[in-house]
């Protein structure tokens, strides 16, 4: 990965940090996108200790704010002509319904709408890479169905299903990207464990569930192996119409790959953004 520029959201901890360490050790230029400047700086120092010659950059962005994401996109494009890998890792889990300053349910905005904005807006620098890749994380069950209005309806909020539907929206959008960018950008959809892995997302879980997850979950670094695998895969075409469980590709669920659902997700996201200043 020497000479490649990799952008990772949520890179100050968990899977994002472990992936950043791996990419830096492989010679990549790593852009850490973090909400908190102090935590981002600590992550930068942590990576530098492992890869002292690595090219590292910290950029601040609050994915729960459309204005912040827009500012970040402008700043990134102004300072980076090319992007080789976009890894949308950041996600949140909220046990209660909360709204962002933009009026949307927090998990929906951070887990789906922000990655949507980044993918849509960074296609130009990605197009300048000889081997551009996008890696998105999805973990919904194949039986789950869309409920886009839950993005702002508190009455529809149920913590587990609401979280999973944000990942379903991202999964369906990723398949739509595979379809629209075929031959231009390689898009990978992955459950990086496979199975659960330790993450700061567990801080919103109950103490008992958080404890059990720490016991039975894989380490974030082990999960990062699958991210490194997809970032360095010699034949990126293998990801077309597949979802990876760890390093193993499986057929895409039919509901995810339905073009009508892809169009619905894209249209809904664009309509929301059009109404936010």
Percent of the chain with pLDDT over 90: 76
Backbone angles phi, psi at 133, to 5 degrees: -140, 145
> Taking residues 108-129, what's their average pLDDT?
97
What is the structure's pLDDT at 142?
Answer: 82
Please give the domain boundaries of the chain with CATH numbers for all domains: 5-274 (3.40.50.720)
Q: Is the pLDDT of residue 58 over 90?
A: yes
pLDDT at 217: 45
- How long, in residues, is the chain? 277
Packing angle between helix 37-50 and helix 14-25, nearest 10 degrees? 40
pLDDT surpassing 60 at residue 52: yes
pTM for the full predicted model: 0.91
Per-residue confidence (pLDDT) for residue 206, from 0 to 100: 56
What local confidence, expressed as pLDDT, does residue 190 receive? Answer: 95
Could you tell me which residue, 214 or 161, shows the higher pLDDT? 161
Query: What pLDDT shows up at residue 215?
Result: 39
Residue 188, SS3 per DSSP: strand
For CA atoms 40, 45, 49, 54, the dihedral sign is: positive
Beta strands in the chain (DSSP E): 5-9, 29-34, 55-60, 85-88, 133-137, 186-191, 242-245, 248-251
């Amino acid at each position: 990965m020497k000479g490649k520029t990799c952008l990772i959201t949520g890179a100050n901890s968990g899977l994002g940090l472990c992936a950043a360490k791996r990419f830096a050790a492989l010679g990549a230029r790593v852009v850490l996108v973090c909400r908190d400047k102090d935590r981002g700086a600590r992550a930068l120092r942590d990576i530098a200790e492992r890869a002292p010659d690595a090219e590292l950059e910290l950029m601040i962005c609050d994915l729960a704010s459309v204005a912040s994401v827009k500012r970040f996109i402008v700043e990134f494009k102004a300072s980076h002509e090319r992007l080789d890998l976009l890894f949308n890792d950041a996600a949140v889990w909220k046990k209660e319904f909360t709204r962002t300053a933009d009026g949307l349910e927090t998990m929906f905005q951070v887990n789906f709408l922000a990655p949507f904005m980044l993918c849509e807006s960074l296609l130009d620098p990605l197009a300048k890479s000889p081997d551009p890749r996008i890696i998105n994380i999805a973990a919904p069950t194949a039986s789950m169905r869309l409920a886009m209005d839950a993005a702002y309806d508190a009455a529809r909020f149920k913590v587990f299903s609401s979280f999973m539907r944000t990942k379903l929206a991202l999964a369906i959008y990723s398949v739509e990207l595979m379809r629209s960018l075929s031959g231009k950008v390689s898009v990978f959809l992955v459950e990086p464990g496979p199975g659960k892995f330790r993450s700061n997302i567990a801080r919103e879980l109950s103490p008992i569930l958080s404890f059990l997850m720490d016991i039975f979950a894989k380490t974030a670094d082990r999960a990062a192996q699958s991210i490194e695998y997809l970032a360095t895969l010699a034949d990126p075409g293998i990801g077309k119409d597949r979802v990876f469980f760890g390093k193993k590709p499986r057929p895409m669920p039919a509901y995810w790959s339905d073009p009508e659902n892809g169009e619905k997700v894209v249209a809904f996201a664009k309509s929301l953004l059009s109404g936010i200043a």
